[in-house]
Homo-oligomer: A and B are copies of this chain.
Amino acid sequence: MNRVIESLLSHRTIRAFRPARIDDAQLDAILEAGTRAATSFQPYSFLVIDDPEILEDVAMYNAPIAILVTIDVHRFGRYLELHGASKPTDSPFYLLHAHWDALIALQNVVVAAESLGLGTVFIGRVHSMDLRKPLGLPENVCPAGLVLIGHPTEPSPGRPRYRVPLEAVVHRNRYREPTDEELEAWYGRYKEMFDKHYEALSDEEKEELAAEGIENGLQRFCHLEGTFFREADEATLRNLQHGGFHVADWGTTA
């Protein structure tokens, strides 16, 4: 294949960084690559975070830099206002549309950074982080994605992580329902991993979980995810509201 596909295939998430800062020209090239992703009027902003105090809040690993991408319907909205126009954006369709534009711009940032030998890690919980005050986000701007970038501590980050095989993910013209045997083959290693975590618990912890009907690794994984989502939902809806997406009203208007 070619250098681009090689670079994509060798992606690995990096969570340990050297303190070295990122070259300004490289950072500009990375951000420029971000803005070249396909888009409809760029309804997003990047916030480059290198202030140590803010970094401490947003970064779960000690990277020298974090790049937040936000959905931003404020900037263009202000321009339209200057000319007596206003673009309606409080729409489920437009939320997904703008989210798409923001996230693929951020993916270009990641691909560009990795091609320069930098390491990256996405912080998935960003949708539920309260960044309005620390970053001074105006109304109609809300978090869409967050990545930490830095020089990896180890030059070679090892083999790419497990993915289910291509035939699990790719369908031709119609969705093909997998067999139980296929599912076992694709996901069995996750079960082993979660069972190991479960087995490592103390008897007391296991009894507590059993009281909630949780008796194996996969059940425990589901329980943890569910608890996390429930906690994250309220903050996510608050962020969306601040971003101009009044989700609470969508049930009644549709």
From B4, B7, B85, B240, contact of A222 by CB (8 A) = B85
Please give the count of copies of this chain that the complex contains.
Answer: 2
The residues in A between 185 and 228 inclusive whose CB is less than 8 angstroms from any CB of B are: 186-187, 190-191, 216, 218-219, 221-222, 225-226
Q: Does the CB pair A190–B85 fall under 8 Å?
A: no
Task: List B contacts of A114 (CB < 8 A).
Answer: 4
Give the complex CA separation of A173 and B30 in angstroms. 17
Task: List B contacts of A50 (CB < 8 A).
Answer: 172-173
Does A62 lie at the interface of the complex (its beta carbon under 8 Å from any beta carbon of B)? no
Task: List B contacts of A191 (CB < 8 A).
Answer: 83
Task: List B contacts of A155 (CB < 8 A).
Answer: none
The residues in A between 1 and 43 inclusive whose CB is less than 8 angstroms from any CB of B are: 1-5, 7-11, 13, 28-33, 35-42
Per DSSP, chain A at the interface is helix
Q: Does the CB pair B160–A36 fall under 8 Å?
A: yes
Q: Does the CB pair A93–B175 fall under 8 Å?
A: no
New A-B pairs, 19, CB < 8 Å, besides A4-B114, A10-B36: A3-B115, A5-B112, A36-B160, A39-B163, A45-B175, A78-B178, A85-B221, A91-B233, A100-B124, A103-B104, A104-B106, A104-B107, A108-B111, A233-B253, A234-B254, A237-B254, A247-B251, A248-B250, A249-B251
A sample of 16 cross-chain residue pairs with beta-carbon separation below 8 angstroms, ordered by A number, consists of A4-B115, A9-B33, A37-B107, A42-B163, A47-B170, A50-B172, A75-B168, A75-B183, A78-B178, A80-B218, A87-B222, A88-B222, A99-B99, A104-B110, A237-B254, A248-B251
Please report A residues at the B interface, Cβ cutoff 8 Å: 1-5, 7-11, 13, 28-33, 35-42, 44-51, 54, 75-76, 78-80, 82-89, 91-94, 96-97, 99-100, 103-104, 106-108, 110-112, 114-116, 120-122, 124, 127-128, 135-138, 141, 144-145, 160, 163-164, 166, 168-175, 177-178, 180, 183-184, 186-187, 190-191, 216, 218-219, 221-222, 225-226, 229-230, 232-234, 236-237, 240, 247-254
